[in-house]
Amino acid sequence: MSFGQGGPQSQWDPWTPQSQQQSQQPQSQQPWNSGNSDNTPDWAALAEASEARAKRRRLFFIGGGALATVAIASAVAVAVVSANGSDQASDGPSSQLPSTADIPSATATDPSFAPTSAPPPLDPKDFVSSAKKDKAPLGPDLLFPGTQLTMGETVYKKGPTADTRTCGSAAQGTLPTVLDANKCTRLIRVTYTKGDTAVTVGVAVFDNEAQATKAKKDADKKSIVRSLSGGGVKSFCTGAVCRSTTNSYGRYAYFTVAGFTGGKDVTEKSTGVFRAGDDLAEFAFRQIRRRGEAQASAAAETG
């Protein structure tokens, strides 16, 4: 290939130093250009420009990296400052930290409250254990109301009643002495019948529970309440063998005497008589206890 007139052109490789030195020309001349105006590039100038650009890029990368590092450091600093805001813990002095009392404890217990339980209920027995508290009206028809008594499937007809202040006169055997010795103040009696079986219940009244309990203890097999007849009820247990019971509750001692109205003796086979005596003793106990319950309830309502 020819690039115009002027003699043979040396072959120059711009990337080989020897050829570059050989091709160097005075600055007033264009390298290996014979004057042809085809704008052939100046490879040496291009190489120098390329090297200069490479250096500028390296400087830019170094400078840009430094700027990026500064920017990242600034961002981290901002993040640290934000993290150390008022809502987070700080590395300040301990005096700026919340007090121990303000910090919830993992071992803290639930708040306790004073107990508000209701007062214990009144004991009904207290109201029938002494004359000072046992103030409700008392009488044969109040203690044994109605005209008949039903215990389970058995119905008893109510007969005559009696109320005496001289307790010994309404008892027989050793019972008068027992009642007088323990200062009985009143003896209430009532008779119930079922067929030819009759039962008299006697409730002796004392001033306090201790006297009634001692009267029960002092009574023996010969301590018998006097049977009460009349009003259609024939005499019974005046000479025949009868069955009797003794017990107490509060300031009351209660007795029963049960037998046949026809004068027949009571034997171990007289199951109806035994059952009648037990039923009336149970009823006497329930009525005395109900008396205490009624007074305890009234006292609780009045405060």
Regions of the chain with pLDDT less than 50: 1-37, 70, 72-73, 75-92, 94
Q: Is 191 within a domain?
A: yes
Classify residue 172 by burial, with Cβ atoms within 10 Å: 0-12, 13-18, 19+.
Answer: middle
* Domain containing residue 189: 144-287
Q: CA–CA separation, 185 vs 179, rounded Å?
A: 9
Number of structural domains in the chain:
1
Whole-angstrom Cα Rg for the chain: 63
Q: Is 279 within a domain?
A: yes
The predicted pLDDT at position 301 comes to 87
b vs e for 212-248, b when ≥16 Cβ sit within 10 Å of the residue's Cβ? bbbbbebbeeebbbbbbbeeebeebbeeeebbbbbbb
Q: Is 246 within a domain?
A: yes
The predicted pLDDT at position 173 comes to 97
Q: Is 149 within a domain?
A: yes
Q: Is 2 within a domain?
A: no
The predicted pLDDT at position 57 comes to 60
Q: CA–CA separation, 122 vs 297, rounded Å?
A: 8
The predicted pLDDT at position 104 comes to 52
The predicted pLDDT at position 204 comes to 98
Determine contact, residues 39/19, Cβ cutoff 8 Å: no
Give the strand pairing for 252-260 and 197-205: antiparallel
Positive or negative: CA dihedral 178, 180, 182, 187: positive
Q: Is 196 within a domain?
A: yes
The predicted pLDDT at position 44 comes to 66
- pTM of this prediction exceeds 0.85: no
With residue 257 as reference, give the H or E element that holds it. Answer: strand 252-260
Q: CA–CA separation, 89 vs 96, rounded Å?
A: 10
